[in-house]
Amino acid sequence: MLKVDEKAQTLTVVENGEERTFSLYSDEAFSKIADLYLKVGWVQKYTYTFSWMGRPVIQLPDDMIRLQEVFYDLKPDVIVETGVAHGGSLIYYASLCKAMGKGRVIGIDIEIRPHNRKAIEEHELFEYIELFEGSSTDPDTVAAVKNSVGDAKTVVVLLDSNHTYAHVTDELNAYHDLVTIGSYIVSTDGVMRDVADAPRGQADWVTDNPANAAEDFVKQHSEFVIQQPPWRFNESTLSDNVTHWPSAWLKRQK
């Protein structure tokens, strides 16, 4: 429970029967308010209100901007994403590739609906995009994607399809070897475990989610570490992302 007293400029938090009070204008208060904002926004489908260059993009804008920072730093040759939906994320990545003068995008989905495929293929940035239809964990699909990536020097992989623990684990196992040293495989939407008790949540999301899959994966793969990319600009006292992607950024370190 959160209790805001604007006159006293305090935020009181009650968790597990323990009451703590912070200055309303503090890093601790910001973190607690941000957590509630994320939870309520998820229930209200806030991320379903945005588009990028004409295509719906179902992502938290904070995550999109942080991702842009990483892309600009790495300047990847290939960006691979599982999960296509309306294609907004692919268009977003393609626009960054065009702006940087480098890179291309691969999108994978078990079903690319005809109207979405048509819109993506007719988009002015489609020349930067290659689509693969099939299960992201099917060996034939994985082989085709790896063949397309070839010997690209810098590769980023984003997992944004089926978000169950089992499926994300299978995707991590299937695609992690595409990731180049210093780059990332990103296990998105671990926010599921934080909204498990919300109206649109499910109780089993506490463990059945991408964040848990990523955390368990790195225990078996010492070449990866879960590490939030550094902020390239920060004149605040804050240090943690407001994000739908906790424990998402798996950086290849060797």
Q: From CA 184, how far away is CA 171, in angstroms rounded?
A: 14
- Same structural domain for residues 20 and 83? no
Taken in order 10, 243, 247, 201, is the CA torsion positive or negative? positive
> CA 102 to CA 72: how far, in whole Å?
10
Q: Strand pairing partners for 159?
A: 82, 187
CA angle (191 as vertex; 188, 196 as ends), nearest 5: 135
pLDDT in tens, 102-111: 999 999 999 9
Q: With contact defined as beta carbons under 8 Å apart, do 136 and 171 qualify? A: yes
State the pTM of this model: 0.96
CA distance 215 to 172: 11
Contacts of 25 (CB under 8 A, 6+ apart): 9
As a whole number, the mean pLDDT across the chain is: 97
Pair 79, 19 in one domain: no
The span from the CA of 121 to the CA of 133, in Å, is 14
Average pLDDT of the residues in 159-177? 98
Taking only the tens place, the pLDDT of each residue in 208-236 is: 999 999 999 999 999 999 999 999 999 99
CATH number, domain containing residue 66: 3.40.50.150
What confidence score (pLDDT) does residue 173 get?
98
Residues 36 and 57 in one domain: no
Residues 114, 225: one domain?
yes
Q: Is the same domain home to 11 and 70? A: no
pLDDT surpasses 90 at 87: yes
Could you tell me if 26 and 110 lie in one domain? no
* 82 lies in the same domain as 122: yes
Backbone angles phi, psi at 195, to 5 degrees: -115, 15
Domain that holds residue 38: 2-43
Q: pLDDT tens, 43-85?
A: 999 999 999 999 999 999 999 999 999 999 999 999 999 999 9
Number of domains making up the chain: 2
